[in-house]
Structure formats: structure tokens, C-alpha cells
């Protein structure tokens, strides 16, 4: 699919974004038709696509937990397929998925400065 059609000859034209050109929504951009050679302007409208999906766990349902593919394996977390929430695996899940205990667990929290996303969210 091409970006637009030339207003003079209707030829399909692709916007050249090589230098980050053509993205600014606040100004008109100039384009020379590769077909008829006429210059024209275009405005950019950036649209966003949204992909809605049911999230039962956000509606009093259950999270769809699955183990992350993390190495070393004792760092494995349980991720929710639906809402991207995560938490540490329970002892039962560790047994089920063969996740070993973390070494040097005593006294250390899982949150570290290097990984700010790892909150104590349960
Ligand atoms: Zn043209
Ligand atoms: Zn969830």
C-alpha cells in the first residue's frame, strides 16, 4: 500500500522518511511526484491503532499465569498472558515448573536499582 496519490496524476507515491522527514504533523511537506514531476504538498496525520482484547483478570477473573523464560532459571517470574502483570512464583508453581530457589535469598529484596520495573507487586 502506498502512502498517498499525486493530486495531479493520481500516481501512487511513497513518502520519503529517510531523514525523519514527513512525520511532522504541524507543517506541510513538499513532494515531487516521481511520475509526472509536479510538486505538491502533503500534511501528515499520524494515526494510532488500538487492539482491544478481553482482560478477564481485570474484571474479577483470574490471571493467566505462565512462567517467564528467564535465565538463570531461579529468576523466573510468573507473567500474566492477559495484562502483563507479574509476580514471583509460589512454591507450588516452582515445583510444577521446576524453578529452583534463588541462591542467597536471605535478607535481599528482589527490587534493585538496575531493574526498577521489578516492584513488589503481587
Ligand atoms: Zn503526478
Ligand atoms: Zn492479568
Rounded to the nearest whole angstrom, what is the distance from the C-alpha of residue 12 to the centroid of ligand 1? 8
Q: Assess whether 6 and 41 both reside in one domain.
A: yes
Rounded to the nearest whole angstrom, what is the distance from the C-alpha of residue 57 to the centroid of ligand 2? 5
Q: Assess whether 64 and 37 both reside in one domain.
A: no
Rounded to the nearest whole angstrom, what is the distance from the C-alpha of residue 11 to the centroid of ligand 2? 48
Q: Report which bound ligand comes closest to the CA of 5.
A: 1
Label residue 19 left, alpha or beta by phi (over 0 means left) and psi (-120 to 50 means alpha). alpha
Question: For residue 18, what are the domain limits?
Answer: 1-47
Instruction: Indicate the pTM of the whole model.
Output: 0.49
Q: Report which bound ligand comes closest to the CA of 63.
A: 2
Whole-number Å distance between alpha carbons of 61 and 47 = 32
Q: Assess whether 67 and 40 both reside in one domain.
A: no
Contact 121, 86 (CB under 8 A): yes
Q: pLDDT tens, 34-79?
A: 999 999 999 998 889 999 999 999 999 999 999 999 999 999 999 9
Q: Whole-angstrom distance between the N-terminal and C-terminal Cα of the chain?
A: 45
Whole-number Å distance between alpha carbons of 8 and 33 = 9
> What's the longest Cα–Cα distance across the chain?
73
Q: Assess whether 16 and 37 both reside in one domain.
A: yes
**Considering its fold, how many domains does the chain have in total?**
2
Amino acid at each position: 500500500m502506498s502512502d498517498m496519490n499525486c493530486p495531479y496524476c493520481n500516481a501512487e507515491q511513497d513518502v520519503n522518511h529517510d531523514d525523519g522527514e514527513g512525520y511532522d504533523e504541524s507543517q506541510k511537506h513538499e513532494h515531487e511526484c516521481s511520475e509526472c514531476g509536479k510538486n505538491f504538498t502533503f500534511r501528515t496525520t499520524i494515526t494510532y491503532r488500538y487492539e482491544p482484547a478481553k482482560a478477564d483478570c481485570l474484571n474479577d477473573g483470574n490471571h493467566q499465569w505462565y512462567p517467564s523464560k528467564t535465565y538463570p532459571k531461579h529468576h523466573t517470574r510468573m507473567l500474566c498472558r492477559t495484562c502483563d502483570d507479574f509476580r514471583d512464583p509460589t512454591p507450588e508453581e516452582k515445583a510444577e515448573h521446576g524453578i529452583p530457589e534463588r541462591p542467597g535469598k536471605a535478607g535481599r529484596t528482589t527490587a534493585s536499582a538496575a531493574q526498577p520495573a521489578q516492584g513488589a507487586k503481587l
